[in-house]
Amino acid sequence: MIPRQLAFDLANPPQPTLDNFVVGANAELVEHLRGITMLREQERSVYIWGSDGSGRTHLLRAATAALAARGLRVSYTDRGATPPDGAHEVDAAAVDDVELLTPEGESAFFRLYNVLRERGGIMLASGNAPPAGLRLRADLVTRLAWGLVYEVHALSDAEKLRMLTEHAASLDFDLAPELADYLFARVPRDMRTLVAMLHTLDRYSLETKRPVTLSLLREMLKEKNV
C-alpha cells in the first residue's frame, strides 16, 4: 500500500467522469450509465460489483456528478456511511461499498431504495461481490438484484500500460517501459492511483527542472518513502 505521506502528496487526478473512465470490457455498463445520466433509460436501478481498484467507485462518482450537473438532487455515500433517510429530498442516490453498511445503514438503504424505485428515481449501488454473495439482510439483497447487475471488469496490465502511456503523452513526456514496470512493482495498480502518480511525477519533473527518467522516478519515490 502507499504510505500515508505519499497519499497526501499525490497530485490530484482528473475528477471522475464517464468520458475519462477506461472502458476495457465494461462498454455495456458504461453506456447504460451514460443513458441514465441523460435520463433516457427506463431501468434506473443498477448494482455494480468488482474487486478493489476495478473502477466501480469511479463510475458511481462520475454518474452522480453528471446527474447533479443536470440539476437533479443527488446523494452519494460510501465506506459504510448511512444513506439519507429523507428519500423525498433526492432524485438520485448512489451507495458505494454496500458490504460495509451497518445494520442501521442497511435499514436506511432499504427505505431509500424502495422510495426511489417507487418514484421512478435513480438508485445506483456498488459492492465487492454479486448480490447473492453479500452478507446483508435478505430483503436488501433481493432489492439489489431487482435492477440491473453488472460486474466491473478490471483492466489487464497491458490495457493499463496502454492507457498510462497515452496519458503520459498528454502530459508531454514518454512513459518508457522501465518506468511503467517500476511503478507497477511499487504502487497499487488501480488506475486512479497510477494516473495520480503520473501527475505527481510530472509535477516533480517541473519542480526539479529535470526530464522524466527512471532515475527521477526512483528519486521521487525514495523521497516519499515508497
Residue 110 resides in a domain: yes
Domain that holds residue 51: 27-151
Q: Check residue 13 and give its pLDDT.
A: 64
Residue 137 resides in a domain: yes
Count of domains observed in the chain: 2
Rounded distance, CA 35 to CA 51, Å? 24
Q: Check residue 10 and give its pLDDT.
A: 56
Q: Check residue 7 and give its pLDDT.
A: 42
Per-block mean pLDDT, blocks of 10 residues, the chain (226 long): 44 78 91 96 94 89 97 95 81 96 96 92 96 96 96 89 90 92 88 87 92 93 77
Query: What angle is formed at CA 196 by the lines to CA 180 and CA 212, rounded to 5 degrees?
Result: 50
Task: Count the alpha carbons within 13 Å of 127 in the hemisphere toward its beta carbon.
Answer: 21
Q: Check residue 192 and give its pLDDT.
A: 79
Residue 20 resides in a domain: no
Residue 19 resides in a domain: no
Q: Check residue 178 and give its pLDDT.
A: 93
- CATH number of the domain enclosing 69: 3.40.50.300
Rounded distance, CA 153 to CA 29, Å? 10
Residue 166, burial from CB neighbour count under 10 angstroms (0-12, 13-18, 19+): exposed
Domain boundary among 151, 173, 193: 151
Domain boundary among 127, 151, 175: 151
If asked whether residues 171 and 141 sit together in one domain, one would say no
If asked whether residues 161 and 98 sit together in one domain, one would say no
If asked whether residues 64 and 122 sit together in one domain, one would say yes
Q: Which three cell numbers stand for residue 179?
A: 518506468
Q: Check residue 5 and give its pLDDT.
A: 47
Domain boundary among 151, 166, 194: 151
Q: Check residue 87 and give its pLDDT.
A: 60
